[in-house]
Amino acid sequence: MDGKRRKTISVTSGKGGVGKSSIVSNMAYLLDTMNEITYIVDADLALGNIDIMFGIVPKYNIKDFIEGRKDLSEIITRGPNGIKIIPATTGAYELANLSEMEKNVLLGGIRSIPHYDFIIIDTQAGLSSNVIYFNSISEEMFLIVTPDPASLADSYAVIKVLSKKTGRKNFNVIINMVRDEAEAIEIYKKLLSVTDKFLRVYLEFYGYIPLDKNVALATKRQRLWTQDYPDSVATWALREICVKLLRN
């Protein structure tokens, strides 16, 4: 067609507070700087926050599209550089569990996007029916895990349920908020030891993002840390993850 990579990936987590939306936003920015046409779908449909990450106020959102008031092209919002955002809404609890018809409308919209390299779906945390659905329509899935024992336990639950409900066997793991690579690998091995024992899945250690004060500084200002602190350790780590994604 046009030589574009055209890959849809989902980024998910067992629990909130692991930095998932921050990673999605900054990953999209870095991919865009690498000349990859990138869209973000904020799939936490009832409590979206991607717009907050970018410090923007969308005029329309995914609810307007699902309910037929706007075309998808009308709700797409521009972020920094060329990033394109399909924003969720806040407080629309009726979207927390989409009907089959609503899922089909949304999937049709996503599949109608004409030119892209990556569509990154930022799912909500946990295991709602929406989370299972968005992970089922993506070609690759990234699971964000932190050293918090609750994150490890919930990540195992996510892998177990998604492998059962979607048939997915391959999971890419990104370890966030660690001191160094050694700690990241230790966390990965802990998760691997449980999945190897009880599940028939393959976990790939895709990379890690170290603790970096610049992440909190930028996020507080509703700015991207990869943009404001291009030489920070977190930015370099996420850039490596993006390069690996392009290679694959």
What three-state secondary structure class fits 7? strand
Domain CATH code at residue 72: 3.40.50.300
Is there a contact between 102 and 55 (Cβ–Cβ < 8 Å)? no
Q: What is the pLDDT of residue 1?
A: 41
**How far apart, in whole angstroms, are the C-alpha atoms of residue 28 and residue 82?**
10
Q: How many Cβ atoms from other residues are within 10 Å of residue 6's Cβ?
A: 15
**How many Cβ atoms from other residues are within 10 Å of residue 238's Cβ?**
25
- Looking at every residue in the chain, the average pLDDT score rounds to 94
pLDDT of residue 46: 84
Q: Give the confidence band of 149 by pLDDT, cuts at 50, 70, 90.
A: very high
Residue 83 lies in a domain: yes
Residue 1 lies in a domain: no
Is pLDDT above 60 for 2? Answer: no
In a domain, residue 223? The reply is yes
Report yes or no on 74 lying in a domain: yes
Structure tokens of 193?
Answer: 């030891």
pLDDT tens track for 76-102: 999 988 899 999 987 777 888 999 999
Q: How do residues 32-75 score in pLDDT, each as one tens digit? A: 999 999 999 999 998 889 999 999 999 999 999 999 999 999 99
pLDDT value at residue 82 = 87
CA 203 to chain centre: 17
Determine the Cα–Cα distance for residues 121 and 143; give it in Å rounded to an integer.
Answer: 12
Averaged pLDDT for residues 216-228: 96
Average pLDDT rounded to a whole number, residues 221-233:
97
Is 66 domain-assigned?
Answer: yes
* Segments forming the whole domain that contains residue 18: 7-247
Q: How far apart are CA 97 and CA 133, in angstroms?
A: 10
Q: What amino acid occupies position 133?
A: Y
Residue 41 sits at φ, ψ, to 5 deg, of -105, 115
The total number of structural domains in the chain stands at 1
**Contact at 8 Å (CB) between 145 and 113?**
no
CB 234 within 8 A of CB 212: yes
First-to-last CA distance in the chain? 20
